[in-house]
Chain A
């Protein structure tokens, strides 16, 4: 293979573009399947060098190593963001909170990441997900270390606000998965990485009370000191994961952004164009709303569920933590399941199937949320909560089965906007239903379910000209190349800048479903 710096390469994926016919190029690419340094990939790859399978037990560089770094660092951020709720019965006595204070802190804990998720999308597009993830996780570590020092309501709210910036690692995680894994399994890869990351919200409900107990009984610390010491655990996790991502992580299958840019293998895009194409795509905004009612609901429940069981059913702190943690633990399989169902449906029904499946799953999540609010008995509450968690989390996974197809050029900023929308949904539900003494928590949960059902119905408005929408069939004159090529101007297209998008368009023809299978060469 000729030295890479002789090739004219464009696009986010950094694969070389040769002046040869496309089918010859494909054959060459998959036959050689080596990265730019000439080493063969451990997994089978496509023409963009994205992996075609997901081997969960493997740590092979770059695809699987990236997968594991990505989900573990995201899990760490979820862990630290939702570390206060299971210890709230102790913290509320130490800092003398009222219900409004707790609710304000809960709102703050999902607000910071709105800003950071938007920024992270752009950072990923321009500087790469590795730097984005590592910088964020190490810069929020001081915020986590400030939690043991908090002495007042204001301090607590500020610290929860700054820790929540770390949830933007979600965007880098999804962006990274979409860069490393082929579109046929992108739903599964995104769903598994994000689901296992979200498990942090469950792990923390279990682990923080245990660590608190350990510090109290083994080290004999006072309660009001023990909860503070417990927060050093998430802080240290931040630092460790940040260092691992910096040393072991890689932006793309072919290398890091900076190295690829220097050798001419990656062309930088500009912020304003990437931003423009992201925000002017109406589908971005529809999914921003709907994601607020799957992830948003999940975040709200992470914040309130331990206290809900502790106060309503009179269980002790550790038991409430265990029950609450099962909600988060369902993410291990529920979110990937959503991604898998989305991918499997797409094989037969294409993008239309993905949209229908998402609407059905998320609406059922809303239904079971209503039922949870109406359940008065402990055991049945737990059962309903588990069923509710499966549907809500699968909906998150199914959402990210669709998002990689909304845009190729602005994938980062769109992931950021939609991720931010999840947080806005959480803020809305917390402020509307859980901040005042007007509603009891159970009424709040029921109303949250009703709002979920209402807001999920906007999915009917999504339409892809080349694939169709929920109610309307596709426009047979529009192709995938037209849709993705339209993000680039005439001059950009003739300069060859859109070639990565065209490559993606060819790979995305699977979204037509089995009935309209078309030969791969255009």
Chain B
């Protein structure tokens, strides 16, 4: 009887483990309505460049409810999450950035710009682009969430094919002069100490044998 209990316990444990690791599907993007109107511009020292540098430039994003919609469509809207998303050009041959209709598995939008309470108009945020954003082409998308943080609708600053109004971001290299110098110095140390050792052993060996 004791062994039956143990077996049952183990079976239940395994079942629970398998259950726990089953991921429930999220909301499907294709079911969302495009009810927000989103605009994004680069705010830069160098206005005419047309590109944004991480750490230096900012993105100014505005969003509001599409005024041509019925009045009651936003009754469940609670908050808005604004995200920076990869344009198709930056997703080619990069499976880790793939777009998936299931929003829980979708990797299109890696960076969150802002999360704000929902208002139908007058929304504005300026976001300094952080230094860990990779280089590439992006667009801005805003998801509308209800009180349970489930996506209800969205808006984006580009067309459905994600080809217009794209934002080009220039990344940092991550290299520093101090890193360069340290690397060179340590490399030289390695080679020079090796050569000195070999030389010393050859020269010492030529003396009369000690024992």
Listed in ascending order, the chain A residues whose CB lies under 8 Å from chain B are: 37, 89, 92-94, 96-100, 131, 134-135, 138-139, 141-142, 145-146, 148-149, 151, 222-225, 227-229, 232, 235-236, 238-239, 242-243, 246, 258-259, 262-263, 307, 310-311, 314, 377-379, 437
Closest Cβ–Cβ distance, residue A292 to chain B (whole Å): 27
Contact of B172 among A224, A258, A263, A437 (CB under 8 A): A224
Compute the total of residue contacts between A and B using a CB distance below 8 Å: 119
CA distance A97 to B186 in the complex (A): 28
Stretch at the interface among B63-71, B92-100, B145-153, B160-168: B92-100
How far apart are the CA atoms of A224 and B105 in the complex, in Å? 25
Please, which residues of chain B bring their CB within 8 A of the CB of A307?
96
Known: A148-B179, A229-B179. A437 touches B95 (CB 8 A): yes
Q: A141-B190, A142-B191, A225-B176 are in contact. Are A94 and B131 (CB under 8 A)?
A: no
**Residue contact A138 to B191, C-beta cutoff 8 Å:** yes
User: Are B179 and A377 in touch, CB under 8 angstroms?
Assistant: no
B134 touches A96 (CB 8 A): yes
Besides A145-B182, A151-B173, A377-B21, 19 new A-B residue pairs in contact (Cβ under 8 A), listed by A number: A93-B132, A93-B134, A96-B136, A97-B94, A138-B190, A138-B191, A138-B194, A141-B191, A145-B186, A145-B190, A148-B179, A224-B132, A224-B174, A225-B175, A239-B193, A243-B193, A246-B194, A259-B205, A379-B21
Once bound together, how far apart are the Cα atoms of A378 and B19, in whole Å? 11
Q: Could you say which residues of chain B place their CB within 8 Å of the CB of A243?
A: 193, 197
Contact with A along B167-195 (1 / 0, CB 8 A): 00001111110011011101101110110
Q: With A224-B132, A258-B201, A377-B21 as given contacts, are A437 and B194 in contact (CB-CB < 8 Å)?
A: no
Whether the Cβ atoms of B186 and A94 lie closer than 8 Å is no
The 10 residue pairs across chains A and B that have the minimum distance between CB atoms: A224-B174, A142-B187, A98-B93, A93-B134, A141-B190, A145-B183, A138-B194, A223-B132, A225-B174, A145-B187
Contact, CB under 8 Å: B174 / A222: yes
Q: How far is the CB of B198 from chain A (nearest CB, A)?
A: 8
Decide if B17 is an interface residue (CB 8 Å cutoff).
yes
- 23 residue pairs of the A-B complex, CB under 8 angstroms, read A93-B132, A97-B94, A134-B197, A138-B190, A138-B191, A138-B193, A139-B190, A141-B191, A142-B190, A142-B191, A146-B187, A148-B183, A222-B132, A224-B171, A224-B172, A228-B174, A229-B179, A232-B182, A238-B190, A258-B201, A259-B209, A310-B96, A314-B23
**What CA separation (Å) do A227 and B134 show in the bound complex?**
14
Residues of B within 8 A of A225 (CB): 174-176, 179
Say whether B135 faces chain A, with CB atoms less than 8 Å apart.
Answer: yes
Q: Which A residues touch B171, using CB under 8 A? A: 94, 96, 224
CA distance A89 to B205 in the complex (A): 51
List, in ascending order, chain B residues with CB within 8 A of A223's CB.
131-132, 174
Chain B residues in 8 Å Cβ range of A145: 182-184, 186-187, 190
Which chain B residue lies CB-closest to A99? B93
